[in-house]
Structure 1
Amino acid sequence: MSWQNTLICWSLRRNFLPETRKPVDVARVRTLTSRRVWTPPPPRGWRLREQYACPEAPLRGEWLVRERRAEAGHATRTILYLHGGGYYFCSPRTHRAIAFGLAKRTDADCFSLAYRLAPEHPFPAAHDDALAAYRRLLAEGVPASSIVIAGDSAGGGLALATLVALRDAGDALPAGAILFSPWTDLAATGASIRDNDGRDPMFCGDVFARIAPLYLGTTDAAHPYVSPLYADLHGLPPLSLYAGSTETLLDDTRRVAERARAAGVSVDCEIAPNLPHIWPIYAPFLPEARRTLDDAARFVRRVSAASEPGAGGVALSSAVQSPEIQSSVRSIAS
């Protein structure tokens, strides 16, 4: 474990964890988040295009695009990124370290969606926004086989729920999905919520049961588009999942990986020893974050390779679902 990770976990225990033990105060959390002291600039050779002016636009958020192709059309790959924040705080701006890191490593255009937040906009607002954004990409000529949906925490659960809804509706599915520490069970039934309470440097165990109602509204927590853990996962494109071994949400990742593999989905699942919730957000400072983004980028290149020139034009998002391709579970070396 790096000294940087030790420092980050110490800081989280001192500053973030105590906040999760307090009653939920939406305004306070949003204010604290807005005071974030640093956000990465666009990588050299890239252009950031913010699209926040029209609140109803399906593609409300921000694009990161290579300057040399900013006016020349779409890239070979496109990442649709869904940020975390319990469905009630954070934004594309707070999660640029992950989105920018993935785009740069994969030479992909990356669109980070500013979906509507709870409690002002409970389910299905965020879900509808994610579906609308994906469908707008298709309508604008981006091939489904060149798109990878990625998300962290609540955004990771939203990404998986989006895949399920797209499959149910008969839409063309993206090439794959990357889920960093996804929140997939708003009923908060995972054993790790209890077992890792006190080990997780970021969250106490009962916080998720307290914040879930903000997004749920009157919806049952076991609704598959709210908690995709309970969805039928057959027919989904390849998934790459990451979680820390001490996370209270660890079982939200492990159980999805098990259910997806049982449904015949190609799954990579990495359980990282002693790393905090959505640790890639600490790139480039944290070496483990850089390594995880490198690994996620390899997944993006692998599953979207069929959309590259000379690959034959076959949609890999369908091909990789064959029984011959095995799922894998690995651990990140400490």
Structure 2
Amino acid sequence: MSQRPSLRALAWRRPVRWLLAPIFQAGRSVALRRRLLLRVAALTRLPVVRCTKIAADTLRGVPIEWVSSTRQTPRRVLLYFHGGAYIVGAARIYRAVNARLADWAQARVAAVDYRLAPEHPFPAASQDALDAYRGLLERGIDPATIVLGGDSAGGGLALACALQIRDAGLPAPAAVVLFSPWTDLGLRGESIRSHAASELVLDADTLREAAAAYLGAQPADTPLASPMYADLHGLPPLLIQVADTEILYDDALRFAERAQAAGGTVELRVWHGLWHVWQAFAGKLPEADAALREAAAFIVRHARAA
């Protein structure tokens, strides 16, 4: 577990609640949530690392943006899935995160704009995730140089991608990096209730609404929607970062326990006194940069340099 939160983190707590909690208040339309998230992204002005190159592309028809550093030759690839409860979010909102991971892990980041619910319910997002990975392989990229990553719903999607890769018999990626992953759309973790008072960002009722929009007619324990209920054998090494105050705390802990029980290698890092996906405040919050440096070091340890 990390040390006590910094003074800067403590100072950010009220702005975080003020900025992000309205996006995840129950009963709001998806259109309003999307507008609010883009407004927050504009207000926070999270700094992108200097000498960052951004380029639009597609992988098997799935839109992505490449994020890389012009200061060095990228030697790895991170396939990154943004969060947003499967109903909001966009790759461009995570440029501050992806620019640092690209720089510190000497990687090109392929940030995926997968289809969102309710317009595109399950399994659209998981199909896009697998197509994006297949697209990397079709370009001749060595899977041993590829790492999957994602935050919140994007963390669940990164796991769904890894499961589909395994079940399709495709070459496996080197590792998976997860920030506060949403692994149980049934919201059965005890922290959904016990951490409600300390949660700064998410709302359980909103997550139920988002899960219903994403799942459609599928049950909440569908493995590719809720990786908590999947057969977890044969997954690549996992790094999971989570805050001890968030309602998805148990999604990380329970998943880590199940993955380890299935024979997997899991590094679980619990950070004290922060909030859901604090890594998104890269360049503003020292704990965000520290977490991303830890993730970059994990990527370098596990992914072969091309």
TM-score using structure 2 length = 0.93
Provide the rounded CA distance (Å) in 2 between the counterparts of 1:90 and 1:100: 17
The reply on whether 1:45 has 2:48 as its aligned counterpart is no
Query: How far apart are 1:204 and its partner, in Å?
Result: 2.9
- Tell me, yes or no, if the aligned pair for 2:68 and 2:103 is still in contact at 8 Å: no
Provide the rounded CA distance (Å) in 2 between the counterparts of 1:131 and 1:32: 29
The reply on whether 1:58 has 2:80 as its aligned counterpart is no
Provide the rounded CA distance (Å) in 1 between the counterparts of 2:286 and 2:75: 28
Provide the rounded CA distance (Å) in 2 between the counterparts of 1:15 and 1:142: 39
Count of paired positions = 300
Match of 1:111 in 2: 110
Provide the rounded CA distance (Å) in 2 between the counterparts of 1:160 and 1:191: 22
Equivalent residues in 2 for 1:163-182 (5 A)?
A: 163-182=162-181
Provide the rounded CA distance (Å) in 2 between the counterparts of 1:109 and 1:292: 19
Supply the AA of the counterpart residue of 1:62.
E
Change (3 A) 1:4 1:175: same
Supply the AA of the counterpart residue of 1:308.
A
Match of 1:24 in 2: 28
Change (3 A) 1:233 1:136: same
Supply the AA of the counterpart residue of 1:96.
R
The reply on whether 1:125 has 2:131 as its aligned counterpart is no
Provide the rounded CA distance (Å) in 2 between the counterparts of 1:214 and 1:205: 14
Stretches of structure 1 that go unaligned for 5 or more consecutive residues are 310-334
Change (3 A) 1:18 1:109: closer
Match of 1:33 in 2: 37
Query: How far apart are 1:101 and its partner, in Å?
Result: 1.4
Higher relative contact order (CA 8 A, sep 6+): 2
Q: Secondary structure at the match of 1:190?
A: coil
Query: How far apart are 1:15 and its partner, in Å?
Result: 4.1
Match of 2:293 in 1: 294
Change (3 A) 1:48 1:267: same
Q: Could you tell which deviates more after superposition, 137-146 or 32-41? A: 32-41
Match of 2:193 in 1: 194
Q: Secondary structure at the match of 1:65?
A: strand
TM-score using structure 1 length = 0.85
Q: Secondary structure at the match of 2:176?
A: strand
Query: How far apart are 1:40 and its partner, in Å?
Result: 4.8
Q: Could you tell which deviates more after superposition, 96-105 or 40-49? A: 40-49
Q: Secondary structure at the match of 1:201?
A: coil
RMSD: 1.8
Provide the rounded CA distance (Å) in 2 between the counterparts of 1:68 and 1:278: 27
Match of 1:233 in 2: 232
Change (3 A) 1:168 1:279: same
Change (3 A) 1:8 1:69: closer
Provide the rounded CA distance (Å) in 1 between the counterparts of 2:55 and 2:48: 10
CA displacement, residues 178-197 of structure 1 (integer Å, 9 cap, x when unaligned): 00000010011010000001
Q: Secondary structure at the match of 1:164?
A: helix
Provide the rounded CA distance (Å) in 2 between the counterparts of 1:62 and 1:281: 17
- Tell me, yes or no, if the aligned pair for 1:64 and 1:103 is still in contact at 8 Å: yes
Provide the rounded CA distance (Å) in 1 between the counterparts of 2:45 and 2:76: 24
Query: How far apart are 1:7 and its partner, in Å?
Result: 2.3
CA displacement, residues 138-159 of structure 1 (integer Å, 9 cap, x when unaligned): 1101100000011000000000
CA displacement, residues 69-121 of structure 1 (integer Å, 9 cap, x when unaligned): 78xxxx32100010000111110011112211111111101110010111000
Stretches of structure 2 that go unaligned for 5 or more consecutive residues are none
Match of 1:5 in 2: 9
Change (3 A) 1:49 1:20: closer
Change (3 A) 1:217 1:86: same
Provide the rounded CA distance (Å) in 2 between the counterparts of 1:42 and 1:282: 11
Q: Could you tell which deviates more after superposition, 29-38 or 170-179? A: 29-38
Query: How far apart are 1:68 and its partner, in Å?
Result: 6.9
Q: Secondary structure at the match of 2:79?
A: strand
Provide the rounded CA distance (Å) in 1 between the counterparts of 2:179 and 2:104: 17
